[in-house]
Chains A and B, each alone.
Chain A
Amino acid sequence: MSSALQEKEILFKSTDARPDRIASSNPDDFLVPNGREEEWRYTPLKRVGNLHNDAKAEQDINYEIVAASGITHSILSRDEVKTKFLATDRISSRTQSLWNKALVIDIPQELETKDLTWIKIDIKSGVQYGHIIINAKAHSKATIILEHVGEGIAGINCEIIADVNSSIDFITVYDLARKGVIVSEHQFVINKDANIRSLVVQLGGDVVRYVPRAKFSGNHGAVELLGVFLATNGQFFENRVFVDHNMKDCKSNVLYRGGAQGEGSHTVWVGDVLIRKIATGTNTYEMNRNLLLDDGARADSVPNLEIETGEVEKAGHASVTGRLDDDQLFYLMSRGIDEPTARQLVIEGFFSGIFGEFTHPELKERLNERLNAAIERSHK
């Protein structure tokens, strides 16, 4: 193994980092954040159980897997895992250095399955760190669902590597108990002609911080990063998206819809798209729509688009934050519908369609059940 210094030099040059940021697997390369850094300005660091500072692992993550036929999975120790994961902030690098057992899922070459693969993680009381690697080999096609529940504190990172011409649907659900905390960095690597459609759903937990980062390892790749979040009763949900257009003729579509209700409820969406000089023919769009359901809730939404080449096919970004519309409620109520039902209809309507592309009936039903339960909780 190379010395720490050499490794760091390599990492600093790595294209994994934004030009102004570092990527490293060594936590000491990142200062302990105090909350004033751009990266951490919204996150309530007092509520993350010291994940950012010195929280030790109290147990290992327990991964429960129900895999589609043909998809293999194994739990491996650090020595057994080869990973190129480079963390981009203090918590994800601590997570990277502290996990003991990783879950590795392999989707073999040319395997195409419509059956779902479920990974369920019950985050037990106390602190734990985990790592997941999903390898989709060439020409494969599969749907993976990663569900998080429980009441503990966790840092869990994930690598999703889509090889040539593979097609992966990847759904991440955070539906923790009220005091649960999770901080995750997910790195998507999309090879030539490959396609990842990802959806994140944040409904339960005290603090959920999610950092999805996508980059390409071949031309003509495509990635969709979709998200749905609903923070109620003082919950904090943060999404920091980064799409690195580092190859030619690739496509990205980032679409997040969020709601917030209740005193202290706070959602954050930061969407960074970088189109590097080499990435001609890029087609990208990012959008965040937020619905504030009352005066006590807050939504921050920051879209950023950096374009270093003049030859893009399409590049757009947008952010809209609105309040629950009195006129919509009035219209429904003037037809006899009581106020709670009218609110529910408008909120469900706002979120409808975001699961639209994920057509598997069981998946759709499970997602709708969780979302409707969260909407119902918001009335209380």
Chain B
Amino acid sequence: MSELVIKDLHVTVETDDGTKEILRGVDLTITSGQTHAIMGPNGSGKSTLAYAVAGHPKYTIPSGSVTLDGADVLDMSVDERAKAGLFLAMQYPVEIPGVSVSNFLRSSLTALRGEAPKLREWIKEMNEAMKEIGMDPTFSERNVNEGFSGGEKKRHEILQLELMKPKIAILDETDSGLDVDALRIVSEGINRTVERNNTGVLLITHYTRILRYVKPDKVSVFVDGRVVATGGQELAEELEANGYVKFSKATAGA
């Protein structure tokens, strides 16, 4: 049983106009085997939350805490966070020219598991995982994300999620840019991970569409850098019907 606890998290970035506060006191708890959907309008700070927790150097954290099973995540380097059991599926996965998917995945798993996977077992493991997510085995020889379509990039993120078996995964708009078939395949991958590995999932999304395939245990509404409401699946349905207007108004005077 693992728990990622985010308490009163404030995050700033440096812009041309000076320091800008993007997260203004976020409180969230993600638990093993549970899926927690975070929904919010564009620019509300959802992606900042994901990247700040994963440790992107662009973000500064003036106050607040993030702990994983009591260990201080903010004190860890980016790779240490991954080794501690955190995973971030990125909205815009980065292209790495000249580095093959197979080399990349093997380097990653070697780091996470503390020893290189045995070659024969590794190829079998990778090929099975690729088959499940509907990626052709030839993908392993392509360069990381280079020339991948939007859907292929997202499948590649979920492939990593399934291979790396994190304690807690943050999925940043994994559903955006996917057609309905790809959305279904990616959603099945997320469900498998929760089921098989008891991973706790923070599912960041702009749309309710993915929630037809991935059933959240909790839904939170994120507006203007903080959580403004938390409920069950019914909250997502309400958002689908009425949009974020009600919640945006609620914080307008704050």
Given contacts A327-B94, A345-B104, contact A334 B54 (CB under 8 A): yes
B103 CB contacts on chain A under 8 angstroms: 345
Task: Name the distance in Å between A331's Cβ and chain B's nearest Cβ.
Answer: 4
Q: Does A335 contact B (CB under 8 A)?
A: yes
CA of A352 to CA of B78, assembled, Å: 26
Which residues in window 322-348 of A have CB below 8 A to B? Answer: 325-328, 330-339, 341-342, 345-346, 348
B87 CB contacts on chain A under 8 angstroms: 334
Interface size class of A (residues with CB under 8 A): 20 to 34
Cβ-neighbour of A336 out of B82, B90, B93, B95 (below 8 A):
B82
Cβ contact within 8 Å between B98 and A351: yes
Given contacts A331-B90, A341-B107, contact A350 B81 (CB under 8 A): no
A332 CB contacts on chain B under 8 angstroms: 96, 104, 107-108
Interface of A is mostly: helix
Given contacts A335-B111, A335-B164, contact A328 B79 (CB under 8 A): no
- A333-371 to B contact mask, C-beta < 8 Å, 1/0: 111111101100110111111000000000000000000
A334 CB contacts on chain B under 8 angstroms: 54-55, 78-79, 81-82, 87-88
Cβ contact within 8 Å between B54 and A338: no
Q: Does B112 contact A (CB under 8 A)?
A: yes
Given contacts A337-B79, A353-B98, contact A326 B57 (CB under 8 A): yes
Cβ-neighbour of A333 out of B82, B93, B98, B104 (below 8 A):
B82
Cβ contact within 8 Å between A349 and B99: yes
Task: Name the distance in Å between B189's Cβ and chain A's nearest Cβ.
Answer: 17
Q: Does B77 contact A (CB under 8 A)?
A: yes
**Which chain B residue shows the least CB distance to A289?**
B97
Interface size class of B (residues with CB under 8 A): 20 to 34
Cβ-neighbour of A349 out of B55, B58, B96 (below 8 A):
B96
CA of A149 to CA of B179, assembled, Å: 57
Q: Does B83 contact A (CB under 8 A)?
A: yes
B98 CB contacts on chain A under 8 angstroms: 348-353
Which residues in window 199-237 of B have CB below 8 A to A? Answer: none
Cβ contact within 8 Å between B77 and A336: no
CA of A342 to CA of B80, assembled, Å: 13
Cβ-neighbour of B94 out of A331, A337, A350 (below 8 A):
A331
Given contacts A341-B107, A341-B111, contact A333 B79 (CB under 8 A): yes
Q: Does B160 contact A (CB under 8 A)?
A: yes
Q: Does B143 contact A (CB under 8 A)?
A: yes
B109 CB contacts on chain A under 8 angstroms: 336
Given contacts A333-B78, A336-B111, A337-B108, contact A345 B96 (CB under 8 A): yes
B93 CB contacts on chain A under 8 angstroms: 331
Cβ contact within 8 Å between A339 and B82: no
Which residues in window 72-125 of B have CB below 8 A to A? Answer: 77-79, 81-83, 87-88, 90, 93-99, 103-104, 107-109, 111-112
Given contacts A345-B107, A349-B99, contact A335 B94 (CB under 8 A): no
- Going nearest first, the 9 A-B pairs with the smallest beta carbon separation are A349-B98, A352-B98, A336-B82, A335-B108, A333-B78, A336-B111, A349-B99, A331-B94, A336-B112
10 contacts between A and B (CB under 8 A): A327-B94, A328-B94, A333-B78, A334-B81, A336-B164, A349-B97, A349-B98, A349-B99, A351-B98, A352-B99
